[in-house]
Amino acid sequence: MRASFSQQERFAWGIVAVLFGGSVINYLDRAVLGVIMPQMRRDLGLTNQQYGWAVGAFLAAYMVSYVAGGRLADRVGCRRTISITTLFWSAAALAHALVTGLRTLSAARSLLGLGEAAFYPAAMRAAAGWFPTKDRAKAVGLFLSALSVGALITPPIVSSVTGRFGWRASFLVTGGLGIFLLPPWLWLHRRIRLAYGTSDPEPAAEGEVQDAGSKEQVPLARVLRTRKYWCALSARACSDGAWYFYLFWMPGYLQEARGLSLRSVGRLLWIPYLAAGIGALVGAWTSSALIHRGFGLDRSRKGVLLPSAALSIIGTACCFVSGNTLIFLLLSVALFGHQSWSSNIHTVIIEIVPPAHMAVLYGMTGAAGTLMGAVAQLGIGPVVDAIGYRPIFAGVGLLYAMAAALVLSAGPVQRIR
């Protein structure tokens, strides 16, 4: 059974709309901690190093779940995987309101990481299954722009709630939002089942296999021996490590090193995250437009990836300039570049791996990025306590330069066969 093209297109954009909402809530729940970090550290008696340990606990669990969630999505489908993980991470987010010290905070962050990570490989498999190559980056860009929306709305919401009711109330307000994602998700998949006879069809992916004239199944072990895959994985790991610094440490940096109040952070930090969201859309639409104009897949993706990495390096200058206006301008340029990069590197990953192993291989790249972020957390706290933020910002710029070099080393963007 197969739906008409127009119906398929409606289903595809309906799925992206729900995943967009889920990604917003996912990032909102994880970004709460960064905004209230100074208040929580003070109340719980935590040092910067201990805060880094708690962030590292989240990232360690996130890394494990990224791979396990990808495997789960490949086996049981996107509908079940996203339903289960959304309930799990919502419960874990609510549990943050009960923490009493480093151990309970680390436990709550670990549970949140286990729940949230599995959402992304399932969502990327859904995007690859419903959108053809020429429009796939658009779907991924919309999906990733939601990360910026979540990070954008977190400071004003959390600073307002924390200022009135305390930081524990912020976890209660944001933690239950994921539950509202499930009704539209399940309703949409009931409609899909009626049209296709299954809840997890992949019409675009099936069409690409037919167009290629081959259903060759490349073993997972063979993919893991290819230079192309490991270069793409390492490129994503470098940029993810930089993003986690911005997500978890930037609100605290602005308050502790730049003297901004929590209210000021809530009023201004949305600006760089808005730029990031715009970057995700501009990067995705630009590479898709290049494909439509006949530039080819490889030139179109790299023609956006490399300039985006260059823009991201500009963030290194943040701690070397004075004046908060200039800092926010530099942050906006850097995060615009990062999300433009991300919308294309995420798309490249699902375009080079075999469809049968797409979610788990994408999940492994996410795990690598999370590992990079987790390892970095162990060093960021002590460096900040001892020296300050300047070496950290310099390291972030170096990560983007390494990511660009790895993309060039990966060879042409094409399916591993």
| pTM of structure | 0.78
Mapped onto helix, strand or coil, the DSSP state of residue 411 is: coil
Question: What separation in angstroms does the CA of 209 have from each of 102, 216, 228, 313?
Answer: 50, 9, 21, 38
Q: What is the pLDDT of residue 334?
A: 94
Q: What is the pLDDT of residue 2?
A: 54
List, for residues 65-123, the tens digit of each pLDDT value: 888 888 888 888 888 899 999 999 999 999 999 998 889 999 999 999 999 988 888 88
List, for residues 123-172, the tens digit of each pLDDT value: 888 887 888 877 778 888 887 788 778 877 888 888 888 888 888 999 99
CATH for 5-208+218-409? 1.20.1250.20
Please list the ranges in the chain whose pLDDT falls under 70. Answer: 1-5, 204-216
Q: Are 114 and 98 in contact (CB under 8 A)?
A: no
DSSP state of 3: -
CA distance 31 to 252: 12
Closest by CA to 154, choosing from 170, 168, 141, is 170
Q: What is the pLDDT of residue 363?
A: 87
Q: Which two tokens stand for residue 240?
A: 């993810």
Q: What is the pLDDT of residue 178?
A: 86
Question: What separation in angstroms does the CA of 4 have from each of 8, 11, 14, 211?
Answer: 6, 11, 15, 18
